[in-house]
Structure 1
Amino acid sequence: MAKLLTPDICVIGAGSAGLSVAAAAAAFGVDVVLIEKGLMGGDCLNYGCVPSKALLAAAKAADNVRKAAGFGVGAPEPEIDFARANDHVRHVIGTIEPHDSQERFEGLGVTVLRSPAEFTGHDTVKAGDTEIRARRFVIATGSSALVPPIPGLDQVPFLTNESLFDLRRLPEHLAIIGGGPIGLEMAQAHRRLGAKVTVFEAQKALGKDDPEMAAIVLERLRSEGIEILEETAVETVDEADGKVTIHGKGKDGSALSITADQLLVAAGRAPNVAGLGLEKAGIAFDRKGIAVDQGLRTSNSKVYAIGDVAGGLQFTHVAGYQAGLVIRAILFRLPIKMTADIVPWVTYTSPELGHVGLSEKQAHARLGDKVKVLTADYAGNDRAQAEGRTIGRLKLVAGPRGRLLGAEIAGEQAGEIINLLSLALSKNMTMKDLAGFIAPYPTLGELVRRAAISYYAEAPKNVWVRRVIAFLRKFG
């Protein structure tokens, strides 16, 4: 006979979203069951954000050695031990792992079940030999690498983000299908560690970002020797003598073939909905994920869906944001609404590419000529000059009365600078606010003030401003 549990909340998936819900609920003394069929920590810890940034850090160290001579520091071409770089990746995962472990969450009072979960009814889930009837369910099963239906792909060996970080030997030539953030981050990492890299992108690389800012990043990647084939469709893939050949068609219709010893598929993500028995619970979903309303509730009023499985913006910090909203709704009965306009994102190439709020194009579409775009170049920043990091630009999108609508950054530490602008956007700050704070000198953060101050560039030419100054001068 199956064991029966009746918690207040049942969370399915122990990735970023699920762990955040479980930890917060347990902190308030709520009875929580957490179900995970795979690794605790989910994709972010084991196959995504953490290992990719660790490998990028190793690659950046190699690049710093190559550029040391420009600072008067003699250094030979770096010797790359790819296996040790992989050890660094494993070490970082291992260091963070205890925070997401089953032992920690059981210590918090969470009941953790390591088994696949399947809905058997409107308010019932089965996990192994345990049946869970909860007041509320939260589905946070995440997503997996999307494998496109390319002829021959299922007949050749290929990597995804789930297997890439198991490599112990640097590929001689790494081919990548997909020119989005994952594909280009891993392209630069492997190129800087010594591999030849070719990227295939059917549309425009970094197509979801501001074209002007994306161009800055793409130019830098190409200058490092990465071949980026945009508007190039991959038509077939085959294997011979242990190597994979990718056959494609360029934007001009010309055929091309590239042979590599490793192929990485980074062509997007697919929500993890298979095997959950969603139909039995009356939960609507499609290939994009589980359908949710503005309050993240599914078509079954007892069930919420958050993180990648709910479609939309697929980022770890979005999963955490949504987890916080769901906790407010379940525990405190507060109304919630997912606000996508305040969500930032960063691509961690060098230079980094950061975004928050409305893009220039979106702002003009909504407000027309009421939008003002302000920029500041890294080349005009003293800290960037001192460190030789002058490639980049910051862009602020201002609306009526100077209110910040959005921001774009391509440059060194864009991910850190976007934090300030994300806060400013969420608090409805204006150019006056951003021009009025004191930035320590010299920092890259001064770029924000410089761009904001330019909002008032025409003020000295205003005839009324000049008349007021002239009038005030008469009083001594």
Structure 2
Amino acid sequence: MSALLTPDVCVVGGGSAGLVVAAGAAQLGLDVVLVERALMGGDCLNFGCVPSKALIAAAKAAQAQRDGAPFGIAPVEPAVDFGRVMDHVAEVIAAIAPNDSVERFEKLGVRVLKEQARFTGRRELAAGPHRIVSRRIVLATGSRPVAPPIAGLADVLYLTNETVFANRLLPPHLIVIGGGPIGLEMAQAHRRLGARVTVLEVATFLAKDDPELAAIVLARLADEGVALRDRIKIERVEPTASGVAVILDGGERLEGSHLLVAAGRAPVLDGLDLDAAGVAHTKRGITVDASLRTSNRNVWAIGDCNGLYAFTHMAGYEASLFIRSALFRAPGRLDSAIVPWATYTDPELAQVGLSEREARQRHGDAVKVLRWKLADNDRAQTERATAGMVKAITDRRGRILGAAIAAPQAGELIQPWCLAIAKRLKIAALASFLPPYPTLGEASKRAAGSYYTDTLFGPRTRRLVRLLARLPVF
């Protein structure tokens, strides 16, 4: 006999978005049921952000041994124990996992069901032996990697972000299909750990980022020995005795030991029976309005499953919007203008707001582009990390439209710009703050200050200063 549960909030999916809703609602005193069919923590903890950054950290440590010459330290080729590297990755996941565990959420008062959820009505779900009826159902089922339609791909063993961290043997030659953030992060990390790496992209690398700054990142990868091939067409893939072969249009044959496919993601919607609840959806995700409500007024969709933004920080942000609008009945609408993202290559690449191209499409020539190169930053010079730039876009009144940074720790350096855009600050705010010296963060102040260069040092200001200089000293 099925057990009836009638929570105030039912959350489907125990990844980044779902856990924020479950924890928040429970701590606000509501009765919460969380249904998760697989791993708590979702993609970010188990297959995404956490393991990838752990691998990148190991690769950075290896690369540091090669890069000592400018500092008077003899460079050496690191002795990499790839299995131990993967142990490090697993240890990091294990250290963070308790924060997302069933035990923690049960202590918060959340009822956790390790089952597949399936709609049986507009407000009803079945989860194993349980029947759930709730006025507020939050779908947070995440996304998964998808394989592009390449002939022969189904006949070879290939890696995705869900399997690459289980590989304990350093690939002699890793071929990566996909030149976005995941593909390039994994390409550089594996190259630094000793693998030969080739990246194939049918369009352009880092297509969503500012091309001027993306070029800085791509140049670094090429300098480190990553073979980058864009605007290519893959004819087919076939297995070989030593791994895999990728045949390009025209007959060129590339052979590798391992193949990593990082060419896109799709929402996880299977098994939900969304139609039974009247929840509209497409292959891109669940259709939502600006408050993340679906076509069923009792159902919300947050995180990757709505197809809007596949970022962990956006999952948390969207979860907070649900809590604000659905639980506190306060206005809460998704603001696309404040969305930041970062690619954790070395140098990192981060952006918030509009790119230069997008700004010109919306505002025409009434935009101002501000730049400050890391070569003109003293801290960057001390660390011999001068390949990079801060770039900001404003309108004619000094309103910040967007910013992008290519630099070490760009994901950290972009944060003042995130705050400025979220709070609708003008460029004067970033031109007038006082950063400590010497820091990479000074480059943001310098870029912002360049907005005033023509006016401050122009002929009218010079005439005014000469006039004031004639006045008596007081």
TM-score (norm 2): 0.98
Gaps of at least 5 residues in structure 1 are none
Distance 1:230 1:240 in 2: 24
**Offset, 1:234:** 1.5
1:270-419 matches, within 5 Å, as 270-419=266-415
Distance 1:464 1:389 in 2: 38
Report the CA distance between 1:464 and its aligned residue.
3.3
* Matches of 1:255 and 1:40, distance apart in 2: 45
Task: Quote the Cα distance in structure 2 between the aligned partners of 1:360 and 1:204.
Answer: 17
Supply the distance in 1 between the matched residues of 2:394 and 2:256 (Cα, whole angstroms). Answer: 46
Aligned match of 1:140: 140
Q: Secondary structure at the match of 2:288?
A: coil
Distance 1:69 1:467 in 2: 50
- Alignment-mate amino acid for residue 427 of structure 1: K
Aligned twin of 1:51: 51
User: Partner amino acid for 1:164?
Assistant: V
Please tell me the residue identity of whatever aligns with 1:240. T
Q: 2:321 is paired with a residue of what secondary structure? A: helix
Tell whether the 8 Å contact from 2:238 to 2:246 is kept in structure 1 after alignment: yes
1: CA distance, partners of 2:362 / 2:193: 44
Q: Which amino acid aligns with 1:285?
A: H
Shift of 1:364: 1.1
Q: Are 1:211 and 2:211 an aligned pair?
A: yes
Distance 2:356 2:34 in 1: 42
CA distance in 1 between counterparts of 2:329 and 2:216 reads: 46
- What SS does structure 2 have at the residue aligned with 1:165? helix
Q: For residue 438 of structure 1, report the CA deviation from its aligned partner.
A: 0.4
Structure 2 residue identity aligned to 1:227:
A
Distance across 2 between alignment mates of 1:221 and 1:74: 22
Query: How do residues 70-85 of structure 1 correspond to structure 2 at under 5 angstroms?
Result: 70-85=70-85
Equivalences, count: 472
1: CA distance between counterparts of 2:104 and 2:457? 63
Q: How far apart are residue 424 of structure 1 and its match?
A: 1.1
Question: Which residue in the other structure is 1:95 paired with?
Answer: 95
User: Which secondary structure does the structure 1 equivalent of 2:439 belong to?
Assistant: coil
**Quick one: which amino acid aligns to residue 435 of structure 2?**
A
Q: What is the Cα deviation at residue 242 of structure 1?
A: 4.0
One-letter amino acid matched to 1:305: A
Partner AA of 1:226 in structure 2 = V
Shift of residue 467 of structure 1?
3.7
Question: For residues 45 and 233 of structure 1, what CA distance do their matches in structure 2 show?
Answer: 33
CA–CA separation in structure 1 for the residues paired with 2:225 and 2:466: 59
Residue aligning to 1:23? 23
Secondary structure in structure 2 of the residue aligned to 1:162: coil
Residue 171 of structure 2 corresponds to 171
Which residue in 2 is equivalent to 1:440?
A: 436
Hey, what's the Cα distance between the residues in 2 that align with 1:32 and 1:461?
61
Q: Is the 8 A contact 2:281 2:287 kept in 1?
A: yes
Deviation (angstroms), 1:443: 0.1
2:416 maps to which residue?
Answer: 420
Show the counterpart of 1:113.
113
Query: Could you say what secondary structure the match of 1:458 adopts?
Result: helix
- Separation in 2 of the partners of 1:389 and 1:474? 45
Deviation, structure 1 residue 439: 0.7
Q: Which moved further from structure 2: 66-75 or 463-472?
A: 463-472
Q: Which residue of 2 aligns with 1:430?
A: 426
Using the alignment, how far apart are the partners of 1:181 and 1:222 within structure 2? 15
**Take 2:126 and 2:2, find their aligned partners in 1: how far apart are those partners?**
9
Matched residues in 2 for 1:36 and 1:84: separation? 31
Tell me, in whole angstroms, the C-alpha distance in 1 between the residues paired with 2:103 and 2:407: 40
Q: Secondary structure at the match of 1:135?
A: coil
| TM-score when normalising by structure 1 | 0.98
Following superposition of structure 1 onto structure 2, how do residues 456-475 of structure 1 map, counting pairs within 5 Å?
456-475=452-471
Deviations 1:69-105 (A, max 9, x none): 3212235311000011001100000000000000000
1:174 corresponds to which letter in structure 2?
L
CA distance in 2, matches of 1:82, 1:135: 50
State the SS of the aligned residue for 1:321. Answer: helix
Name the CA distance, whole Å, in 1 between partners of 2:151 and 2:25. 47
Q: Distance in 2 between matches of 1:384 and 1:18?
A: 40
Unpaired segments of 5 or more residues in structure 2? none
Question: How big is the shift at 1:470?
Answer: 3.6
Which region of structure 1 is more displaced relative to structure 2, 97-106 or 255-264?
A: 255-264
Could you say what secondary structure the match of 2:132 adopts? strand
- Give, in angstroms, the shift of residue 284 of structure 1: 0.6
Residue type of the partner of 1:369? D
**Distance between the aligned counterparts of 1:469 and 1:379, measured in 2?**
31
Report the CA distance between 1:398 and its aligned residue.
Answer: 1.1
Name the stretch that deviates more: 68-77 or 240-249.
68-77
The answer for the alignment partner of 2:261 in structure 1 is: 265
SS at match of 2:217: helix
Q: Give yes or no for contact 2:173–2:197 (8 Å, CA) kept in 1.
A: yes
Post-superposition offset of 1:145: 0.2
Per-residue deviation, 1:471:
3.6
Give the Cα separation in 1 of the matches to 2:105 and 2:276: 29
Partner residue in 1 for 2:187: 187
Mapped contact 2:337–2:421 kept (Cα < 8 A): no
Q: Distance in 2 between matches of 1:240 and 1:443?
A: 50
